[in-house]
Structure 1
Amino acid sequence: MPLFTANEERHLASLRELVNCPYIDVEHEEVEQLTPPLADLPPPADFNEKWRGVQLDGDIVSRGLRFTELGACWSTMTGEDYDDVSEDVEADRLIESEPPEIRGEFFLRSIHDILSQPAGPADPVETEFQRTFLSELRVMDQTPRSGAGMLTYLRLKPGTSPLEIWYSDIAAIGAPPYPGGFIQMDITYSEYLDALLLTKGTYGWQYLYTDISLADGFSDTVDYLEGMLSLFPQIFPNHDYSDLRVRLEARL
């Protein structure tokens, strides 16, 4: 029996793409041990009695990652760093010009770890609805090395399928009745993992899957995303970025 599932192999390969790219400085990379098979995972209610009625979607069980830690914190090589690197890069890996400044990070939590978290975010709330909402959130992806304050949550709400994905950022996002700083993503768990293979955790990529305008107040995020869509097709040519381009254009 293979050690890794097909989807785990894809994410390990994606991490290797980052590490082996001469134009990316990977400041931290983490790949930790595997949890038991997800098919053997107890039901959510065994982790928290409030989750009776919560059922993990089939794609979470079949495509979920078991790494207790899988992540990277990175930035593009610019200025003198780029000059030094470009002198030694093989001809077939040369790019058109110095990369734009882009930063990114992802830190995926295993499904077992998601369910084992004792509580949701401790943000201040104004209503009982908001209190309940926050209690249903568990971190699935975050930016702990950089401290950028970006987190993605799986919402463990009874009777919901597919389970919702929510993004939190230090920004003026979200709308009542939900607390500020949280916005729902139009994406499933497995689709989130697929998108991460493309974006490599570029800061703000999650906004591409939300109903939000980035035209005002998100200049840094837009710069990162435009830089990603300019650079990544050159350094990761085996991936198709056309859908992400359409998504960014729709939010400008």
Structure 2
Amino acid sequence: MSTLTQNEQLHLDSLNEIENSPQLESQCSGTELDMPLSIILPEEYNESWEGVRFSEDMLSCYVRFYELGAAWRTVGTLPDVKGEFSLINFNDALESSDPGTESGTTDFQREFLSQLCPIDRTPRSGAGIQTYIRMQADVDELELWYSDIADIGQSPYPPGFIKLDIGYCEYLKALLLTKGTYGWQYLFADISLARRDFLDGANNLKNMLQVFPELFPDRDYSSLRTRLEARL
């Protein structure tokens, strides 16, 4: 393996934390490296992405793993917590089809859907949860959008998508804490988790914040706790 960057090593260590924890039942994969982000040109994948550029922050924080992911759940007497993530390298992400422009009901929605590329998904569980990066030209930082249940988001955007208030680098940093706990992305979105249809998801996050400080005592979960409390 080529020499890992500091951020790549952090994410590999985090994966090892999941795999080596006796309190978690897990399936983990991913160590091979793919091409660096600096040589990937979006317009070579889709001519409509001419002018899309990755920020210097993205170039520095990017993890080159071909795929890095895990599906896991707590075992034994611990409160039930489940999670999954699978980071996709941008070479594959940009070749992936969009979420389906035919589902858009307006020209704006169809254009929006055509701009989305998956960067994180849940292939082991088949839950269909994905995080996308929005390929827009001439913006300082590319947006991240989360897709889970249908009843999120608001006009003029299509249902089922909600914008995250963090960028790509912050997403990777948060993943080190959450380990892909289902629904963690809602902690970084403008949404209330007090809704009845979010009951299971909110409980999963509550249990995460009860269990993870014990499983991973070197990590600080105070910021996530604050975000969850603000959404309940």
Which protein has the larger Cα radius of gyration, Structure 1 or Structure 2? Answer: 1
Distance in 2, Cα, partners of 1:113 & 1:175: 29
**Counterpart position of 1:5:** 5
**Counterpart position of 1:246:** 226
Map 1:65-104 → 2, pairs under 5 A: 65-77=63-75, 82=76, 98-104=77-83
Cα pair 2:40 2:91 within 8 Å, conserved? no
1:120 aligns with 2:119: no
**Counterpart position of 1:219:** 199
Map 1:99-110 → 2, pairs under 5 A: 99-110=78-89
CA shift digits 1:94-125 (9 cap, x unpaired): xxxx31111100000012222232x3111611
Q: Which residue type is aligned with residue 100 of structure 2?
A: A
Map 1:1-252 → 2, pairs under 5 A: 3-26=3-26, 28-39=27-38, 41-77=39-75, 82=76, 98-117=77-96, 119-122=97-100, 124-216=103-195, 217-252=197-232
Q: Shift in Å at residue 32 of structure 1?
A: 4.3
Distance in 1, Cα, partners of 2:189 & 2:40: 31
Q: Which residue type is aligned with residue 205 of structure 1?
A: W
4+ residue runs over 3 A deviation:
none
Q: Which residue type is aligned with residue 211 of structure 1?
A: D
Distance in 2, Cα, partners of 1:243 & 1:14: 18
TM-score (normalizing by structure 1): 0.88
Q: 1:149 to 1:42 in 2, by over 3 A?
A: closer
**Counterpart position of 1:92:** none
Cα pair 2:118 2:131 within 8 Å, conserved? yes
Distance in 1, Cα, partners of 2:2 & 2:110: 43
Partner of 2:63, secondary structure, is coil
Tell me the number of residue pairs that the alignment of Structure 1 and Structure 2 aligns.
230
Q: Shift in Å at residue 170 of structure 1?
A: 2.0
User: Between the two proteins, what is the percent identity of the paired residues?
Assistant: 51
Structure 2: runs of 5+ lacking an equivalent: none
Q: Shift in Å at residue 149 of structure 1?
A: 1.7
Q: Shift in Å at residue 38 of structure 1?
A: 2.8
Distance in 1, Cα, partners of 2:150 & 2:78: 26
Cα pair 1:106 1:143 within 8 Å, conserved? yes
Q: Shift in Å at residue 204 of structure 1?
A: 0.2
Distance in 2, Cα, partners of 1:199 & 1:231: 11
CA shift digits 1:23-45 (9 cap, x unpaired): 1000x211142112333x13211
Q: Which residue type is aligned with residue 122 of structure 1?
A: G
Distance in 2, Cα, partners of 1:24 & 1:42: 36
Q: 1:74 to 1:42 in 2, by over 3 A?
A: closer
TM-score (normalizing by structure 2): 0.96
